[in-house]
Structure 1
Amino acid sequence: MNTVETGAVHRMMGAVGSAVVRRPWWVISAWLLMAVTVAALIAGFGRPTEEDVSLPGSDGQIGRDLLDQHFSGSDEASGQLIFEAGDGRLDDPANIAAVTAALDRVEQAPHVVSVTPPAAAAGTISADGTIGYATVRLDVGPRSVTRQMSDDIVDAAAPARDAGIETVPGGALARHDAATHTSELLGLGVAVIVLVLVFGGLVAAALPLFTGLFTLLIGVGTVGLAGHLTDMPGVASTLATMIGLGVGIDYALFLVTRYRTLLDDGTAIGPAIVATVASSGSAVLFAGGTVIVALGGLAVAQVPILTTLGWTAGLVVLVAVAAATTLLPALLAVLGPRIGALRVPGLRRRGDSGAFWGRLADRVTRRPGRYALGTAALLALLAAPTLGLQLGQTDPGDDLPGSPTRLGYDLMAEGFGPGVNGMLSVVVEWDSPATGPDDPRVLALRQELSATGGVAAVAPPAVSDDGRVSTLRVQPTTAPSDPATVDTVAALRDVQPDGGQLHVTGAVAIKSDLTERVADRMPWVIAVVVALSALLLLFAFRAPVLAVKAAVMNLLSVGAAYGALVAVFVWGWGTAVTGLDGPVPVESYVPMMLFALLFGLSMDYEVFLLTAVGESWQRTGDNLLSVRTGLAATGRVITSAALIMVCVFASFVLNPSPVIKMFGLGMAVAIAVDATIIRGLLVPATMALLGRANWWRPGAGGPAVEDTQTDTQTDTQRDGLLPAGEASRPLDAAAGLPFSTGGNPP
């Protein structure tokens, strides 16, 4: 970015730092007040979720809207109580008495409107009589069903359990928020170890953790509360937790590292904090903005669930940026010289010491062609499974064995066939009102639907009071996640009754529409995200070659993530390690969401590395020296930050949800590949090969190389990263780069 623009951002962040240093306790109090307020609101109002996918303009959504408009109670939640007889049949007298007693008590449970008992005539008792289900209607919508409601209903069915009849909740009653505490604690534990090793002391290591926890409480809490205002999928809060924990710690790590370097250089505490916020704070602002812009590109898909996941993740990133640039400096001001307290015996803080990275840079830049070809081949191998990527949809049958959702799913499939878990609704809007369920047009439609391939059964039709709309419940022969079920949806939509317009809806049908829309819009989202990210880098460095190269590099890390998804979840390589009992489909919206997230997160490390390289280039005009200097100066902090992110993301593979496992694995693989293979090998190799072309600018031969003196040693030289004479004095942020990686305060 040019000097004027960068200087403005730099001065703005410096002003923020100065204000925080003058009133640190005011800042800390404000953050505490926000945290307490959000926690109190969550305790009082909860965090409702809505798992039904909406997709405006799709055939499935049109059908759902017609049901909502013409049938009362269609917006009320309903679930099942599934019974399995321990002895005999459910319709044996003793078992009938036990189930009846249980359902009588269920009807008295809070929020229960009605209960329809299992009956062979209604098809809700299996052919062998051992499994049946009751339908329980509630007075709340699906998004308002809580775990407590489900527990109350299941507890009320105690008479059936006492008689030896297994009782399992199904449908809306089996839904509950999957706990992420194990993943969070594991990620935090690894972060503690890495931070202690980096800083050598407990106080300094605790600061990034503290800001990360505030990010979680305020950011993720706000996302949960937003569920009262808009449909909020359960995955949104968990994904926000992953992002908040990762970037919340990483952004603070960058600032604390810079601050400690300034203190070591003899800068006073107040000026060091201001300089840290002005330089590294500008970097964090740019990095967080990049992530938010990339997530904003998801709006091109016009898919509500992706839009929601995008703005919720972006909100948490915004909170992380705010915490790193205001709360953290306030804590530094209050701690003063005590930031170095509680050192761990045997650990010596080495700052940004990067002798290993300096040697690696020397090796790579001496033989750049060999390293470029080798790493490109390795990345192509990692991404190769992507060719087998097929978008689909998961169902409760993919959940962990023994989980409430899986138990209910398996019992229903055993008793009534796999399609019972993915019922379809055929909705017809008639040109002229139907006379009722016996209308010849309705009867003819039911007969035609029954004869359609992939259909196991068609329930008796229902007709709206005004006769304009009729609906028929259709049970497929295959499971919801089976691709054959999508074919059944398409076959049903080919049935067009005389005098009416047919639509197929239901969760499975709308998800199949979602898959189709995501596939259609994926190229547009990729193009928009890549273009926006490249423009941001062009804005920062004014070097088109660097911007385009960075975009290509990020595509390679995303390709590796996609390859891992296919290998593990589709091919089943190592699936058991994830806790699943077999391959599962890749949820349709996961790759697109991953793409936006990873493009934004990868750009953080790209900017940090390129800034260090650019600083050296502006002083020396020596491309190879600049690449070596930049990698040596940033290698250690980038890998430390990446290690924290990788461990945080990988810990979420322990989450019960297959979708969260996909996000965790994909993001962990991409960040690991990005911070090691790409930033450590491929980027320096390609920059060495391109030479001065890296810095070409339209209308100029290249950026101006400043004639600064080189007799002042840099931080990297003093730390022993490079031989004397090979490093030059680094520029500060106002000299034309987004932020400074070290050196004297501005």
Structure 2
Amino acid sequence: MAERFAHAIRRYRWLLLAAWLVVLTGAGVAALPLAGKLSGGGWYVSGSDSQLAAQALRSGFTGRGESNLVVLVHDERHTVADPQFAERAGRAVNAVLDDDRLDAASSYGWMSLTGDGRDAFVGDDRRTVVTLVGLDVDDGTARRVLPDVQGELADRFAAEGLRVSLVSAASLFGEINALSQSSLTEAELIAFPLILVILLWLYRSVVATAVSFVVSMTALGLTFGLLSLLASRFELSIFVQNAATMIGLGVSVDYSLIIISRYAEELRRGRDRFEALVTTLRTSGETVLFSGLIVALSTSALFLVPLNVIGSIALGIVLVVAFAVLSSVLVLPVVLYLLGDRVLKGAVKLPGGRARSLEVSENPWYRLAMRIMRRPVLWLLPPAIALIALAVPGLGMSTFTPDARVVPTSSPVRYGYDLMREQFGTGAASPMQVVVTVAGELNDAHGAALTGLAERLRGLPHVERVDSPLDVLRAVDPARPVAALAGLDRMPADARQTVEHFVSADRDTVVLEVIPDGDAASPGVIALYDQVRAEVAKLPSDSLRGVVGGETAEGVDANQAISDKLPYVLGIMLLIIYVLLLVTFRSLLLPLKAIVLNLLSVGATFGLLAIVFQHGFGVELLGTVSHGYVQNFVPILLLAILFGLSTDYEVFLLNRVREEWQRTGDDTVSVATGLARTAPLISGAAVLMLAVFGAFTLTGINPIQQLGFGLAVAVALDATLIRLVIVPASMRLMGRWNWWLPGRRPTATPVSSPALPVREDALR
């Protein structure tokens, strides 16, 4: 098959090259609007209470709409008692209400009320006011236009001493989207030069280094082009672009390293470019194909989680890995064949010179492996115990959805959130919405049930206050507050607006807003959410149905969805990896060993993630801060990605070990030789991935920082403690059981097997 494929490349090379250029150009054009199509949503679990609450509030209420804003105005020169304040703050709010891009439908708060009715919307400093605005544009549109609107407002009013902030989920995720784009650019500016230097060090050839970028350019270009087309019809999370770039760069440079290294090795052995290509496709091509299959299938298990944000990121990773494999085994061979031995040109002399050719027995990696296998238990226990100890803090990992704290304090959006918490209470920016739907016509019995619910909610711990229409209605008719709705048109304008903000126009939905005394992700507020749901459940189910929404509800529902599906995701990944390794190595125990080692690596990574990002030890070195929890989608993404990437290294190593064992029948020598042949490649691949993941750790927004940090830590552990120490020690202890399969007697009969691509003269 490899030979037939190589013949096709030789015959149709120019046609394939032209087709590649056309497809890549088309994908690049299609990818241009991708950023503007991505959504900051994706956190709602389909059918959950938080989603139902959000849907119920999209129409029929004053100051609420398809998307919602809190317009916060802070006057640095005047207080509300000064005559100038109303005119200055009013101009700022009107700039939002009159903006055609936002299509404001209604407002409620300081701007729309008068007299004493405004007091609840004035901050403690008497310089800050808020107005709630309902928009007639969907959340996706709002997230796209709000960053520009916010920037224009900040610039326009800053000279007048006014700070204007748009506080909402849409504005927050719109800001995160903008920050994701800028951090992506920063990460690329750091990663690409590092990759260039590392590849020059590995290849010692300018041409080979340049060719390696063909795979990255193709994989990312095709992925973004296809994602852009998909985003036109489906909601895709803003995090998909960062995640796809990070994983795409990592695997594409690794796969190109494997292919180019083997091709160059075959040329140096005196083979012509056709023979070199056939051997490369038969060996390294099969290895890349199998490795990509493992990563893609492992990541596909994430589609079981009913969260769009996780599904989006999983889709991006599967696509970019698939295109990286396609580029490595189709596009890259065409380019290599056209170049021939010119791929070796442009030699670069770097410090240390070229590694001298060594006999295997003189190789330092060989000597290290033999030293370890002489005392396998002594070498196995310390690193295994260390990894288990690192994993312990991960058992107490706390997770939640991203909040405003992932945005830098310099952002006007973050300023608005912080000031709102400071002036109106910590929980004012993230209230819980208790949305009660009435079966039939709202009557006195319903009013009594709602009044009782409001009183019980006020008595719960961590509740700052409960906002509802009941106080206004009781002022009109203390005995029968619901009956007062019949005279709504005769009420004063302020009272009418308040009622219409909490009671829908068709009178079948009533909202009670619980303002907690802490952040949405704080343990006390999460506990409060459970208590609020318990109180809502006491409503008479035959006539009233209540659901709880808001930021805390959204986060709790998302966490629950992830934890519910985690066993299935883990089980499918383990099954996929076990079956594929069983088929490849024809051994029952080697796949089990690989899974145990993967669990050790992932467990230690989770522990370090909790130590740094949850408990804050050393987090300042990464240029960020600890929020007391880990972003909830990060651990499950790490689980899927790391199982795939770690198995990659396992395949690279064990392919060569099995080949040596089939040739010699000596368990110890085959392990040492396999390690000597593959350690340079694994080390080089790990350094490349560390450069990519490290760039995102230092420049990305908080969720991407956590993902990059976890990947970097895991790759470092896997390429050092796992592959260099634990693997040879454990394989020495297992001996011939490494290759045990019931019904088949392990023999040292040579069997055709993909040889691991190695360049001992360049990869050190």
CA distance 1:641–1:656, shift in 2 (3 Å): closer
**SS of 1:23's equivalent?**
helix
CA contact (8 A) 2:157 2:164 kept: yes
1:657 matched to 2:647:
no
- Which amino acid counterpart does residue 632 of structure 1 have in structure 2? A
Identity over aligned pairs, percent: 31
1:256 matched to 2:260:
yes
CA contact (8 A) 1:105 1:157 kept: no
CA contact (8 A) 2:165 2:413 kept: no
Tell which deviates more after alignment, 204-213 or 146-155.
Answer: 146-155
Per the TM alignment, residue 335 of structure 1 is displaced from its structure 2 partner at its CA by 1.7
Matched with 2:29 is 40
Per the TM alignment, residue 62 of structure 1 is displaced from its structure 2 partner at its CA by 3.4
1:476 matched to 2:494:
no
Which whole-Å CA distance do the structure 2 matches of 1:437 and 1:328 have between them? 74
CA contact (8 A) 1:98 1:160 kept: no
Matched with 1:387 is 395
1:240 matched to 2:244:
yes
Tell which deviates more after alignment, 478-487 or 63-72.
Answer: 63-72
Tell which deviates more after alignment, 333-342 or 44-53.
Answer: 44-53
Per the TM alignment, residue 684 of structure 1 is displaced from its structure 2 partner at its CA by 0.7
Per the TM alignment, residue 73 of structure 1 is displaced from its structure 2 partner at its CA by 9.8
Post-superposition Cα deviations, 1:606-638, rounded to whole Å, max 9, x if no partner, equal 001000000011111110110011000000011
Count of residue pairs the alignment pairs up: 704
1:173 matched to 2:171:
yes
> Which of 189, 192, 197 in structure 2 is aligned with 1:188?
192
Cα RMSD of the aligned pairs, angstroms, is: 2.6
1:284 matched to 2:284:
no
Per the TM alignment, residue 235 of structure 1 is displaced from its structure 2 partner at its CA by 1.5
Alignment of 1:397-408 (within 5 A): 397-408=405-416
Per the TM alignment, residue 173 of structure 1 is displaced from its structure 2 partner at its CA by 2.7
Alignment of 1:584-663 (within 5 A): 584-663=628-707
Q: Which runs of at least 4 in structure 1 moved beyond 6 Å after TM superposition?
A: 69-75, 351-354
Post-superposition Cα deviations, 1:335-382, rounded to whole Å, max 9, x if no partner, equal 222111211134655599782212211211222121111221222232
Per the TM alignment, residue 331 of structure 1 is displaced from its structure 2 partner at its CA by 1.3
> Which of 719, 737, 741 in structure 1 is aligned with 2:753?
737
Matched with 2:468 is 460
CA contact (8 A) 1:111 1:138 kept: no
**SS of 1:329's equivalent?**
helix
Matched with 1:51 is 41
CA distance 1:677–1:557, shift in 2 (3 Å): same
Structure 1, unpaired ranges of 5+: 1-10, 709-734
CA contact (8 A) 2:64 2:132 kept: no
CA contact (8 A) 1:400 1:579 kept: no
Which whole-Å CA distance do the structure 2 matches of 1:317 and 1:262 have between them? 26
- Which amino acid counterpart does residue 458 of structure 1 have in structure 2? V
Per the TM alignment, residue 555 of structure 1 is displaced from its structure 2 partner at its CA by 0.8
1:546 matched to 2:546:
no
**SS of 1:497's equivalent?**
coil
Matched with 2:499 is none
Post-superposition Cα deviations, 1:641-682, rounded to whole Å, max 9, x if no partner, equal 011111211211123421111101111000110111101110
Per the TM alignment, residue 475 of structure 1 is displaced from its structure 2 partner at its CA by 1.9
Post-superposition Cα deviations, 1:681-714, rounded to whole Å, max 9, x if no partner, equal 1001111111111011111221x322x6xxxxxx
**SS of 2:433's equivalent?**
strand
- Which amino acid counterpart does residue 748 of structure 2 have in structure 1? V
Structure 2, unpaired ranges of 5+: 470-501, 760-764
CA contact (8 A) 2:465 2:514 kept: yes
- Which amino acid counterpart does residue 209 of structure 1 have in structure 2? F
1:692 matched to 2:682:
no
Which whole-Å CA distance do the structure 2 matches of 1:542 and 1:408 have between them? 60
Tell which deviates more after alignment, 686-695 or 346-355.
Answer: 346-355
CA contact (8 A) 2:244 2:317 kept: yes
Post-superposition Cα deviations, 1:134-165, rounded to whole Å, max 9, x if no partner, equal 33444432222355543235425766433312
Matched with 1:492 is 532
Per the TM alignment, residue 104 of structure 1 is displaced from its structure 2 partner at its CA by 3.1
CA contact (8 A) 1:352 1:636 kept: no
Per the TM alignment, residue 85 of structure 1 is displaced from its structure 2 partner at its CA by 1.6
Per the TM alignment, residue 516 of structure 1 is displaced from its structure 2 partner at its CA by 2.4
CA distance 1:389–1:582, shift in 2 (3 Å): closer
Which whole-Å CA distance do the structure 1 matches of 2:454 and 2:341 have between them? 79
CA contact (8 A) 2:31 2:227 kept: no
**SS of 1:425's equivalent?**
strand
Tell which deviates more after alignment, 28-37 or 532-541.
Answer: 28-37
- Which amino acid counterpart does residue 704 of structure 2 have in structure 1? I
CA contact (8 A) 2:678 2:758 kept: no
- Which amino acid counterpart does residue 666 of structure 1 have in structure 2? G
Matched with 1:29 is 18
CA distance 1:52–1:456, shift in 2 (3 Å): farther
1:121 matched to 2:117:
yes
Tell which deviates more after alignment, 72-81 or 324-333.
Answer: 72-81
Post-superposition Cα deviations, 1:369-400, rounded to whole Å, max 9, x if no partner, equal 21111221222232232233222334212433
CA contact (8 A) 1:112 1:137 kept: no
Tell which deviates more after alignment, 645-654 or 437-446.
Answer: 437-446
Per the TM alignment, residue 466 of structure 1 is displaced from its structure 2 partner at its CA by 4.0
CA distance 1:741–1:112, shift in 2 (3 Å): closer
Post-superposition Cα deviations, 1:159-178, rounded to whole Å, max 9, x if no partner, equal 64333122233222342322
Alignment of 1:68-79 (within 5 A): 76-79=66-69
CA distance 1:157–1:399, shift in 2 (3 Å): closer
1:108 matched to 2:106:
no
CA contact (8 A) 1:631 1:680 kept: yes
CA contact (8 A) 2:201 2:350 kept: no
Tell which deviates more after alignment, 181-190 or 98-107.
Answer: 98-107
CA distance 1:133–1:259, shift in 2 (3 Å): same
Per the TM alignment, residue 72 of structure 1 is displaced from its structure 2 partner at its CA by 10
- Which amino acid counterpart does residue 516 of structure 2 have in structure 1? P
Which whole-Å CA distance do the structure 1 matches of 2:742 and 2:40 have between them? 50
Which whole-Å CA distance do the structure 2 matches of 1:510 and 1:168 have between them? 23
Using the size of structure 2 for normalisation, the TM-score is 0.87
Which whole-Å CA distance do the structure 1 matches of 2:67 and 2:307 have between them? 24
Matched with 1:515 is 559
**SS of 1:503's equivalent?**
strand
Per the TM alignment, residue 53 of structure 1 is displaced from its structure 2 partner at its CA by 0.9
Matched with 2:131 is 134
**SS of 2:675's equivalent?**
helix
Using the size of structure 1 for normalisation, the TM-score is 0.89
**SS of 1:82's equivalent?**
strand
